[in-house]
Amino acid sequence: MTISSLAMLNPMSLPDPDPAPILDLIEAFRRSKAMFAATSLGVFDRLALSPMTAADLARDLSLVEDPLTRLLDALVGLGLLDRDADALYHNTPLANTYLTRASPASLAGYVNYSNEALYLLWGQLEQALREGTHRWTQVFGPGGSLFSHFFRTEESKYHFLMGMHGFGQISSPAVVRAFDLSRFRRLVDLGGATGHLSIAACELYPDLEAVVFDLPPVVPLAIEQRDRSPAASRIQVQAGDFLKDDLPHGDLCALGRILHDWSEPKIHSLLTRIRQALPPHGALLIAEKLLDNDKRGPLFAQLQSLNMLVCTEGKERTVAEYEALLKQVGFAYLEARQTGAPLDAMLAYAEHP
């Protein structure tokens, strides 16, 4: 009799698996929520100005000292704060770079978006699995969408778009390096938001021009970010709806974190418009996180696909699934690259290169 068959007869003879992964998952949301709360309350922004004691910080932020001290100590444990011998708390370089609103690389807007929307929507995951639809109406009421919620005021629009900008600054440089784009002359960045992909592309390719094409409320912030780039003179910003309006002319279109928001029929409609607008030598650059073909990973993409379930009509997809969608509308050839960044890259050619 083999060892494995003995184990089947007497399962108690084997030691229990290490429970550490389960224990880690039980408390994982606590770590996220501690960072969310500190960002939302302005802890990192205030400590970026000067180190403070818990008592002084509590007075500044109108909080209660003892609970705040517990949060601050937890943030020390998370590596986001340090505390010196005089009991003064200060930001670590990690927090100063990514969790303060004044930082050029800030992810604070994305953190607040995660806190104010995603955290609540994920609380409805079970019902989303029962019904197969997003939870926006159940959490925030009828008559809106994920994006309209964050465009309801100038302040919320600004922080949402800057959150996306911070995320884009991490991913877009890797996306535009994934392929040699030097043969293209004009990039049309559809739904380009703050223009982080156009900026990264034009800074890398000195002969490239670009146009950021997005809805009118986005245009002022896109211009503001564009003007900070040394490639600003080669980047235009144009208002428009890529589902309704004529698309700007270019030999390279780009879609960054657009397709994963939508169902196949909407994707088909958009890709059809893009394919018809591209010249024969043109291509479409797509930035999304790709699932492995067997869908056994990566974990980031698997969890992001669940995120799309509770937020939108979309999901994350494999290269093969994107290839099928692209070929349905006439694209001839698709290349894909894993970038090592939060987003991967695909380049779909109108005709075989």
Domain boundaries, the chain: 21-103, 171-349
Q: What is the CATH topology of the domain spanning 21-103? A: Arc Repressor Mutant, subunit A (1.10.10)
d(CA 270, CA 289): 19
DSSP state of 236: E
3-state secondary structure of 262: coil
Q: What is the pLDDT of residue 12?
A: 60
CA 25 to chain centroid, in Å, comes to 22
Q: What is the pLDDT of residue 162?
A: 85
Single out the catalytic residue among 260, 268, 281, 352: 260
165 catalytic, yes or no? no
End-to-end C-alpha distance for the chain, whole angstroms: 60
The residue whose two tokens read 């937890």 is 74
Q: Say which residues have a Cβ less than 8 Å from residue 3's Cβ, sequence separation at least 6.
A: none
Of 26, 29, 24, residue with least CA distance to 119: 29
The long-range contacts involving 102-108, CB below 8 angstroms and separated by at least 24 positions, are: 102/45, 102/48, 104/169, 105/166, 105/169, 106/162, 106/166, 107/163, 107/166, 107/167, 108/39, 108/44, 108/45, 108/159, 108/162, 108/163, 108/166
Cβ count within 10 A of residue 16: 6
Cβ(351)–Cβ(301) under 8 Å? Answer: no
d(CA 95, CA 80): 5
Provide the β-strand partners of residue 279. Answer: none
Torsion, Cα 223 224 226 227, to 10 degrees, reads: 110
d(CA 75, CA 32): 11
How long is the chain?
A: 353
- The model's pTM is 0.89
In this chain, the answer to whether the domains covering 21-103 and 171-349 adopt an identical fold is: no
The residue whose two tokens read 């501690």 is 34
Q: What is the pLDDT of residue 353?
A: 76
Query: Is 171-349 CATH 3.40.50.150?
Result: yes
Q: What is the pLDDT of residue 328?
A: 97
Q: What is the pLDDT of residue 6?
A: 47
Q: What is the pLDDT of residue 9?
A: 52
Which residues of the chain fall below pLDDT 50? 1, 3-4, 6-7
